[in-house]
Structure 1
């Protein structure tokens, strides 16, 4: 895209990072996107100051159109992000950021748009039939990160689809074995209510790790989530390895629950964490837990489960949503 005028700024604002990318729409409807500029949300007090930093880093004019994927319920004129302190006044973005056209949506609704638009070679098969994603019916989209993102899309043919955002990460955590019973018990001692994202998220690995240590009566260092993930993925810490395996089990259980609730014909795992542990997921008990639904086990075995490998599905999906809202004749 260098040397070409950009049509849009796509933003993916999560609990930890805010990503910005310049986007251009081709005449055939395809979407081209520059490498993103990634900022830490903790380094900025608001979207406005982060936007100023983005503008300072761009060589050339910044488009007066933006698509924002936000990690929170994108309803009403003020969006308070679920896992960071920013409050975004969507009705004032044109004035605050100097924009003419804006599209605002939930971050996992954006990922669902990416699932609808990404080519088949950007999906990695995890379990179930090795078939392409269906062109008709519902597809669940699930992604562990700073929290747990959940959305789904309904397809009717190759071109027509509808995305439904949700706050599915905040449903109750449902234990399946005695270890998850112990995880829930530890969390209940500190929280009135335990949502599934307290376990099935990047930070949730801390709860799993500490519970395993307590069950084995082991004294362990007070580690943060990044350290546990790193030790476990490098196989430097057996307890961290076991925690990652139990994380994969819990993700499998939750993914199967969402598929049942959505009436899905397929499931897609998304997000940076999912991508980083993709090989671990394939060799873990994820697939067994996904299918472990009693009388519906045979039905679950017929659902393809894939992982989207697009490097920035939130940004790509935000651009796709803007295109449908502002540029499509059938939007």
Structure 2
């Protein structure tokens, strides 16, 4: 490890192209990369590995494994994009299998440890949000009007951030869209909400529009119809919907797609977003179902605001390194302004 007394003005600074570690930590997977800043400002991924978070006793154990395999000599900096709310060295979250500790990583030898919300990081990954690097999800694929961009991603939870252009570059405002109350859009969704509210007074968006939410929707549909719930994982629900041998699995997938359209439209209207980018692990697994779903209809179903939303492109970010690239970009901006 480099001498921690050295400053970032020196040659080992990430600002000068020195490699450093960037991590994207979610409720299921932890993605680690060794990265560096290129002269044009883009981020290059030098090494990358995806870990099953629950297979390790701690995040520090994952980092130690990655450093041993991919990052010798160990760099002095690590930046971690994580699901949840970051408060200094603390992460407020209920999805991670262990506690994230900046102090523990410093004890491991890192001179610089930084934490950032995962969707704040995703929104900082400007190189991943270029039109040519994304797939259209909505019927409009033209150029967006100037204005804020919304970045939203259903995975283990539902994260969000707003990317606002400003005079000095970009301002990113992280949010917790998944914690908004779920608003049903059909009689069947109302019945689902009523079933869930018999158990709890608060049903959040991510209890529908996220991986665990898909399984919960499927199980509740089966229970409402007195049918056997044959699927026990969200992956099983998706595969059964694909095979076409489980009507409730297909219905659950279609409800997921439709509800996502409503959530994206609500967020776009609330924030005045002129473009929407979808990230996260769920949507790429469901792409084949979107054309036959009510995703587009629900995205546009905002009364007079339909005329506005018809010109808001919704695109899927297809760069698998978006999280680590965004974390790295955020860290570099942080160092440059210190």
Taking structure 2 as the reference length, what is the TM-score of the superposition?
0.88
Q: What secondary structure, in the 3-state scheme, does the structure 2 residue paired with 1:132 have?
A: coil
Aligned pair partner of 2:66 in 50, 54, 65: 54
Secondary structure class of the residue paired with 2:32 = strand
> Which residue is equivalent to 2:303?
294
1:127-146 matches, within 5 Å, as 127-134=138-145, 136-146=146-156
Of 262, 278, 286, the residue aligned with 2:287 is 278
Q: 2:36 aligns with which of 21, 24, 33?
A: 24
CA distance, structure 1, for counterparts of residue 156 and residue 51 of structure 2? 15
Q: Is the 8 A contact 2:278 2:315 kept in 1?
A: yes
TM-score normalized by the length of structure 1: 0.90
CA distance in 1, matches of 2:283, 2:299: 15
What is the CA RMSD across the aligned residues, in angstroms? 2.2
Q: 1:308 is matched with which residue?
A: 317
Residues 1:37 and 2:49 are matched in the alignment: yes
Deviates more, 1:118-127 or 1:206-215: 206-215
SS at match of 1:15: coil
Structure 2 unaligned residues grouped into runs of 5+? 1-16
* Aligned residue in 2 for 1:187: 196
Which residues in structure 2 correspond to 1:208-287 (within 5 Å)?
208-221=217-230, 223-287=232-296
Of residues 173-182 and 291-300 in structure 1, the stretch that sits farther from structure 2 once superposed is: 291-300
Q: Which runs of 5+ in 1 are unaligned?
A: none
Q: Secondary structure at the match of 1:87?
A: coil
Residues in 1 aligned to 2:242 and 2:320: alpha-carbon distance in whole angstroms: 20
Relative to structure 1, the CA distance from residue 167 to residue 259 in structure 2 (aligned partners, 3 Å threshold; closer, same or farther) is same
Q: 100, 107, 124: which one pairs with 2:118?
A: 107
Native 8 Å contact 1:9 1:22 kept in 2: yes
The CA distance in 1 between the partners of 2:188 and 2:259, in whole Å, is 11
Distance in 1, matches of 2:202 and 2:269, equals 23
Closer/same/farther in 2, CA of residues 294 and 38 from structure 1, 3 Å limit: same
Deviations for 1:102-121, whole angstroms, at most 9, x for unmatched residues? 33210011111124654321
Per-residue deviation, 1:140: 1.1
Return the alpha-carbon distance in structure 2 between the equivalents of residues 184 and 153 of structure 1: 32
| Number of corresponding residues | 322
1:126 to 125, 128, 137: 137
Work out whether residues 42 and 127 of structure 2, in 8 Å CA contact, stay in contact via their aligned partners in 1. no
Give 1:279 shift.
Answer: 3.5
